[in-house]
C-alpha cells in the first residue's frame, strides 16, 4: 500500500461532531483507512460485502479502545465512502 493521503473525517459521537484524523492508503483496487482511536491505531477496510470493518493494528487483550467511537467512525466511513 502507498504512503497514504491524510484527511479529516467528520464523526458524530455522543451527539457532538468531532474530526478524526485519518489516512487513506490504496493498492490497486484495495484501500485501507487508518485512524488513531484512544491512542491505538485502527485499520478500517471494506469486507467482501463492502461494509467497513475495524481491525486493531496491534491487537492486545488490554487495549481500551472505545468500541462505540469505532462504530461511529465506521458509520461515518460508510456514509462518506461506500459506493452504492
Question: Can you point out the beta strands (E) in the chain?
Answer: 5-13, 16-27, 30-37, 40-46, 52-56
pLDDT at residue 11, rounded to an integer? 96
Torsion 63-67-71-72 (CA) sign: negative
pLDDT at residue 30, rounded to an integer? 86
pLDDT at residue 49, rounded to an integer? 87
pTM for this prediction: 0.84
Task: Note down pLDDT in tens along the chain; length 84 residues.
Answer: 556 899 999 999 999 999 999 999 998 888 999 999 888 899 999 988 888 999 988 777 666 789 999 999 999 999 987 654
Query: What does the block give as the cell for 57?
Result: 493494528
H helix or E strand, kind and range, residue 71: helix 67-81
pLDDT at residue 80, rounded to an integer? 85
Q: Which domain holds residue 27?
A: 5-81
Q: Per the structure, how many domains does the chain have? A: 1
Can you tell me the distance from the alpha carbon of 42 to that of 33, in angstroms, rounded to the nearest whole number?
Answer: 8
Amino acid at each position: 500500500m502507498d504512503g497514504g493521503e491524510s484527511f479529516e473525517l467528520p464523526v458524530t459521537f455522543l451527539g457532538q461532531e468531532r474530526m478524526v484524523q485519518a489516512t487513506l492508503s490504496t493498492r490497486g483496487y484495495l484501500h485501507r483507512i487508518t485512524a488513531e482511536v484512544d491512542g491505538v491505531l485502527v485499520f478500517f477496510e471494506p469486507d467482501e460485502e463492502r461494509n467497513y470493518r475495524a481491525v486493531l493494528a496491534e491487537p492486545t487483550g488490554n487495549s481500551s479502545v472505545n468500541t462505540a467511537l469505532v462504530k461511529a467512525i465506521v458509520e461515518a466511513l460508510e456514509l462518506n465512502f461506500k459506493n452504492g
